[in-house]
Amino acid sequence: MSRASLHVSITGRVQGVGYRAFVEEQAVSLGLSGWVRNRRDGSVEAVFSGEAEVVEQMIETCRRGPRHAVVDAVTVLGEAEAQDGPFLVAPSL
pLDDT digits (tens, 9 = 90+) for 41-93: 999 999 999 999 999 999 999 999 999 999 999 999 999 999 999 999 999 99
> What contacts 86, CB < 8 A, 6 or more positions away?
28, 33
Choosing from 3, 20, 40, 64, the catalytic residue is 20
Report the relative pairing of strands 70-79 and 33-38 from DSSP bridges: unpaired
Confidence category of residue 21, pLDDT binned at 50, 70, 90: very high
- Domain positions in the chain are 3-82
Choosing from 3, 38, 39, 67, the catalytic residue is 38
Q: What CATH number should be reported for the domain whose range is 3-82?
A: 3.30.70.100
Nearest to 2 by CA among 56, 45, 46, 47: 56
- pTM for this entry: 0.96
Strand order in the sheet with 87-89: 70-79, 3-13, 44-51, 33-38, 87-89
9 with 43: CB under 8 angstroms? yes
Please confirm, yes or no, whether 67 is among the known catalytic residues: no
Please confirm, yes or no, whether 64 is among the known catalytic residues: no
Confidence category of residue 20, pLDDT binned at 50, 70, 90: very high
